[in-house]
Amino acid sequence: MEKTVIEKFKLAKKMYEEVGVDVDKALERLKSISISLQCWQGDDITGFLGEKDIFGGIQVTGNYPYKATNFNELTSDLSFALSLIPGKHRVNLHAIYANTKEDVDLDKLAPKHFEDWVKWAKKEEIMLDFNPTTFKHELSKKGFTLSSSNERVRNFFIEHCIQSRKISEYFGKELNGKSVCNLWIPDGFKDNPIDLYGPRVRLKESLDKIYSHKLNSKYILDTVESKLFGIGVEAYTTGSFEFYLNYALKNNLSVCLDSGHFHPTESISDKIASLMLFFDSIALHVSRPMRWDSDHVVLFDEETNKIMKAIIRNNFEDRIYIGLDYFDATISRTAAWVVGVRNVQKALLSALLEPTEKLINLELNENYTKRLVLTEELKTYPIGDIYNYFCLINKVPIGVSWILENEEYEKGLKR
């Protein structure tokens, strides 16, 4: 098997080199790009604190066995998934994944409640990202948190978000990197509201209080994430793209673009080029929208490829934090992580194996015919042989062989 992979790689490498691609350099760049795995795929967003039911514009379907039920099970699953993916990556946590025996509510969470996560991350040599959990709580059941007309509700979630930012900064300091702290809220109306302005006034006031606490930007990247609509908020979401884009620009924050949070005809790949003119860094949640739902396992499809090309063609990989955001309980949860990350990596590799400078020159010289011919021909070039070699040199399973390891891993689980 190894010999075949190497032979195929050499032939594929020659093909790419003939069109001006440095394959070795492409693989070096690919290895340097980390992708953040969403911990909530491992247990269907149940978490370890508070409410077990899911509400707040989110729904998980399916009853595949082997769901993680505690910290040890979830970290075991994550470690296993990471062992099947080439390169070093990150893990993204929600606040409800605090591992503590203490009876603590969201507004009282502190770094000490995530010490076990930091120990695990140090062992894995990875970075942790973080998210306040503004859903799955008794005070969010009426559909509003930071934009609520109820001052008690607003103050509770303001304090929770302040504490969450401190936890994210703690991750950065302990793990010697920058932790992305991403804020998303489920606030909105199911049917057409009368007042479109008032909730956003309240949201702005809440955000002003949250971000008035200055933290070390060496260790934390604050991002805000919009959504077009959600379950139960089909008519209006307070945290729209226009609201957060303006708020972030004015307050020196960043934005997180979720590929499933826009209109089905919108593409975030085009937004990236515009945003990078005005932001030092942004974050992405790569998902796969389908009809009205946004949270399907990422495929190696046209949109994923367009997003990664928007990053690679402009050398944005050091300024854009790529994360996954989906939750599918109809298939193996560990496999869902591996498929998603590997597909994002393949899309990145496809972009890295493109003779970008040559294509740009064709475009500048208005040779659109040759540009089209070359980009179309590259679609059938043997990227799979290059990626298999990437897996080989990074000592992870090649091709579909990893699914056998996944099946053996699940057979050994007693859940």
Enumerate the active-site residues. 184, 225, 227, 258, 261, 285, 293, 295, 325
Per the CB < 8 A criterion, the answer to whether 9 and 296 are in contact is: no
Per the CB < 8 A criterion, the answer to whether 225 and 261 are in contact is: yes
What is the four-CA torsion angle of 396, 30, 256, 159, rounded to 10 degrees? 60
Sign of CA dihedral 302, 304, 305, 309: positive
Q: What is the CA radius of gyration of the chain?
A: 22
| Nearest-angstrom CA–CA distance, 297 and 278 | 30
Give the pairing of strands 35-38 and 320-324: parallel
Could you give the residue ranges of the DSSP H alpha helices within 134-284?
Answer: 151-175, 198-211, 241-250, 268-275
| Nearest-angstrom CA–CA distance, 34 and 126 | 9
Residues 12-50: b if buried by 16+ CB within 10 A, e if exposed = bbebbeeeebebeebbebbeebbbbbbbbbbbbbbbbbb
Per the CB < 8 A criterion, the answer to whether 143 and 196 are in contact is: no
Tokens standing for residue 55: 């509400």
For 400, residues 6+ apart whose C-beta sits below 8 A from its C-beta are: none
For 259, residues 6+ apart whose C-beta sits below 8 A from its C-beta are: 268, 284, 285, 286, 287, 288, 289, 294, 303, 307
Closest to 284 (Cα-Cα) out of 352, 331, 347: 347
